[in-house]
Chain A
Amino acid sequence: MSKAMTGAKMVVQSLIDQGVDVVFGYPGGAVLPIYDEIFQQNHIQHVLVRHEQGAVHAAEGYARATGKPGVALVTSGPGATNAVTGLTDALMDSIPIIVLTGQVPTFMIGSDAFQEADTVGITRPCTKHNWLVKDTDKLSAVMHEAFHIATSGRPGPVVIDIPKDVQFATGKYTEARQVETHYNPQVKGDMEMITELAKAMETAKRPIFYTGGGVINSGPAASQLLRELVAATGFPITSTLMGLGSYPASGDNWIGMLGMHGLYEANMAMHDCDLMINIGARFDDRITGRLDAFSPKSKKAHIDIDASSINKVIKVDMPILGDCAHVLEDLLNVWKSRGRKTDKENVAKWWHQINDWKKIDCLKFEQKGKVIKPQYALSRLEELTKKYDRYICTEVGQHQMWAAQYLGFEDPNRWMTSGGLGTMGYGFPASIGVQMGHPDALVINVAGEASWLMNMQELGTAMQYRLPVKQFILNNERLGMVRQWQELLHGERYSSSWSESLPDFVKLAEAFGAKGIQCHDPDSLDDAIMEMLNHDGPVLFDCLVEKHENCFPMIPSGKPHNEMILGENADTANAIQSGGAVLV
């Protein structure tokens, strides 16, 4: 029973059928028929962004905070090319989004028409899959399949390019349940290998769980199962930047984030463990440091839904292909049925060792004098907001790492940060997407002033839709992370890494009709943060911080985990050898 309707109507109908309630977009000539249909219905809210990159990041933020796919709608040509950064970001971080792009009419494709771009060609390497739909009869089936592909297996972004004549033409609407697909990724892990892992857990002397974004992507059940498994085994757990929140920061077994700016105890434990259980992480270069010195004494298990992540850079002993939640459920069952055994004596010794490492207190800082330390600003933000069920976004740079270090995450889907691609300008539009998904929640974007300026136009969007997103800008008038690398690696020659001609952020906020707050005094910081939290509307918080603070601890490029540099007492002069300089 297929109904006849126009292509434009099909787009809206299939979005409704897929349960979409919000679309982030920007109109233009090639998507006018779809905008006309959006105008004539009340099921889907359209959020008009101020730049297409903002639409895609907002869709990403929405997807990560709600666990549902995000949708963006942009026009042909420049609309589509502006979406490319967001698509690549979503591909790197495995975020399910559906981006609809308008295209010039089919009979004009290839003629260098006005606002024509080869969208499927340009987006092929930065999407999980994409389609150019030339036949209205096929449009609704492609729409439904797009949601299936974006959300199944390893999630990712998809693009549907829809020529304008296809939007105007009438065709048959296909319901989702009538659509056939061959895409069916394996979710159950191999039971033999899961049993082998359970056996390894029973005899491990120095085990560690190393979890990643895959646990979050797998859904809330995966985080719940992970918590059960950790509680049942008593093993320590660390996580990548992407995986924060899957295990609560207040949990007994939490030893902090690992990686280049991770905690000393987490990195030392990764280096010295004898059993590493990787759940939904991918041995990224921010995590491993020098590959040939990465955790040399351990047996490694790797649970991942993507076969290409397994054995890509690190050889593992127990590869388990499958979805985190499915595998964790089986692993927990096998381990329980075998009698819940662990080597308690040695694991206790291991905890003793980890607790010794913790005593180094690698995040210690001293707030002296009248200048706010960025670490202090975030510690206060943590203290004053931890009672809220809050959602934190970040931009990219030092502030992002400090946020990961000093803020605690108790639940999944509360932490939205650009991990793989490292996209400056991600956080602000992402916070808009998060707030759309959770209208009553406290949403804070921890930003640097340089990153924030990259998509500052979205302040208009926040105002238009009355989204009370809090922009917490750690303003050091520098590209802090670039400056830090130039200090460590390029003889303190600070080439183009300071921000001149910065705007007055308070006046900037006011120009948009938002609230601006500036704070430079540690003593008034708490009051200023409370003022931000108590204001019902978007706030631009300009927190003037120490300009030359470096982000520590740090594993220098080309070094293994156990050669971290720690804060103030560290000898940074010869930290990075020439071989490491080529790495980023």
Chain B
Amino acid sequence: MSPLKIKKGSTSHSAYDLRPTFSDKKEQHTLAVLVENEPGVLSRVIGLFAGRGYNIDSLTVAEVDHTGHRSRITIVTSGTPQVITQIKAQLGRIVDVHEVHDLTVEGPSVERELALLKVAGAGDHRIEAIRLADIFRANVVDSTLESFVFEITGTPEKIDAFADLMRPLGLQEVARTGVAALSRGAL
């Protein structure tokens, strides 16, 4: 068999944290998974979660480096520390996966999500909706005489809070992107 050239800067699929605490407490973690932008790579990641019974609380994916052919998948997942460690190790086994980062344990990070909310109503409800949107720094991206579409960016908790407030004011539809996240500070 002929050996292949290993690309410069390739990371070994290494053990992440191999000493987990075996606790029963469920934790929520945000994982950033850098993958080769190949057909089927998202299916591999989702298939892994489905096949092994892991939770996906939220998932976003898009190409982040066109020339480098890389996509970034941000997954919010929950499980016991043992399960979280398994998820990271299992992701690391996928040949198309270059790096797995657990933003929850690797230091401070920022998380943002974008949502669009359609609110329909008239009179006081309509005025109250606009007033609250202003407080939450949500933008109006579409309006008719009986409806608004608000655009809001923030943590998932902030979007939950805004949606809860809009519900009695005529919330009709919500579209959310899921979480995108980056570590704070320089790499």
**Which A residues are within 8 Å of any B CB, using their own CB?**
17-19, 68-69, 120-121, 124-125, 128-130, 132, 144-145, 147-149, 151, 153-154, 175-186, 306-308, 310-312, 315, 319, 321
Contacts and interface: CB of A to CB of B under 8 A. Distances in A.
7 contacts: A124-B40, A144-B4, A154-B93, A180-B7, A184-B11, A185-B13, A307-B15
Nearest to A181: B4
Instruction: Label chain A's interface by main secondary structure.
Output: mixed
B101 to A, nearest CB: 15
A121 B43 contact: yes
A124 B43 contact: yes
Contacts of A319: 15, 18-19
A182 B92 CA distance: 13
Given A120-B40, A186-B14, A144 B2 contact: yes
A413 to B, nearest CB: 17
Contact of A124 (B12, B14, B19, B44): B44
Measured as residues with beta carbon below 8 angstroms from the partner, the interface class of chain B is: 35 or more
Given A121-B43, A306-B93, A315 B22 contact: yes
Contacts of A177: 2-5
B13 A307 contact: yes
Contacts of A310: 15, 18, 89
Contacts of A175: 2
A68 B15 CA distance: 27
Interface centre among B5, B89, B95, B98 (most CB of A within 10 A): B95
A185 B13 CA distance: 5
Contacts of A183: 10, 13, 95
Given A186-B13, A308-B86, A315-B22, A179 B95 contact: no
Given A124-B40, A182-B98, A311 B20 contact: yes
B48 to A, nearest CB: 8
Given A18-B1, A183-B95, A315-B82, 9 more contacts: A121-B40, A144-B2, A145-B4, A149-B95, A154-B93, A307-B16, A307-B18, A307-B93, A312-B86
Interface in B62-103: 82, 85-86, 89-90, 92-93, 95-96, 98
Given A307-B89, A321-B14, A148 B82 contact: no
B187 interface: no
Given A124-B44, A311-B20, A315-B22, A182 B89 contact: no
Nearest to A177: B2
Contacts of A182: 6-7, 10-11, 36, 98
Report, nearest first, the 7 A-B pairs whose CB atoms are least far apart.
A176-B2, A308-B89, A186-B12, A321-B15, A319-B18, A307-B89, A129-B95
Contacts of B18: 307, 310-311, 319, 321
A132 B95 contact: no
B123 interface: no
A125 B93 contact: no
A311 B88 CA distance: 12
B39 interface: yes
A1 to B, nearest CB: 15
A176 B95 CA distance: 18
Contacts of B92: 307-308
A309 B90 CA distance: 9
B52 to A, nearest CB: 10
Given A307-B18, A308-B90, A125 B95 contact: no
Contacts of B82: 311, 315
A306 B96 CA distance: 16
Nearest to A153: B13
Given A153-B13, A184-B12, A307-B89, A125 B4 contact: no
Contact of B10 (A144, A184, A306, A315): A184
A120 B93 CA distance: 18
A184 B15 contact: no
B108 interface: no
